[in-house]
Amino acid sequence: MGTLEAALRGLRVHLLTARTAAEGEALALQHRPLLAIVDVGLPDRNGYGLAADLRMAPSLAGMRILILTGQSPDEAAARNSGVNGLILKPFRLHHFLDLVREQLDNRDRDETRAPAVLVGSVSAGAR
């Protein structure tokens, strides 16, 4: 388990991980997480496309989405895909965890959803 995954587990969330957009989308639809952290650089499609697809799923309404990127963020793509925030790599771990906590605190209080965080092919980038 990497540093990032260990830190997220420290927030007492059920952490689901995926290496591809297809895996991430399948996990999200199956488990309906409260938060998806999606890397832009996925092997099968970009993270903005995945975020837009997740936004269109009625069963995922209210799910928060953060985009993680090591490149210049595409503000228009982020806005159009409906993400709730951008995380730029490299990042400080405590800053990343603060953003995750904020998104989890701002979620809709729907107790039928599992308190899970979906991490889509996230390479740490933490410093």
Range of the domain at 30: 3-120
14 in a structural domain:
yes
CB 72 within 8 A of CB 78: no
Quick check: is 30 in a domain? yes
pTM, rounded to two decimals? 0.86
Q: In this model, does residue 122 exceed pLDDT 90?
A: no
**For 4-52, how does the pLDDT look when each residue is reduced to its tens digit (9 = 90+)?**
777 887 787 788 889 999 999 999 999 999 999 999 999 999 999 999 9
CATH number for the domain harbouring residue 90: 3.40.50.2300
Domain membership of residue 127 (yes or no) is no
What sign results for the dihedral spanned by CA atoms 27, 122, 124, 35?
negative
- Compute the distance between CA of residue 126 and CA of residue 81 in angstroms, rounded to an integer: 25
Does residue 62 carry a pLDDT above 80? Answer: yes
Residue in the block written with tokens 């399948």 = 26
Average pLDDT, the chain: 84
Number of domains in the chain: 1
Predicted pLDDT of residue 52: 97
Count CA within 13 A, CB hemisphere, residue 12.
0
125 in any annotated domain? no
Domain assignment present for 74 = yes
Helix (H) or strand (E) holding 41: none
- From CA 101, how far away is CA 107, in angstroms rounded? 10
- 49 domain-assigned: yes
Q: Is residue 126 part of a domain?
A: no
Looking at residue 126, the DSSP 8-state letter turns out to be B
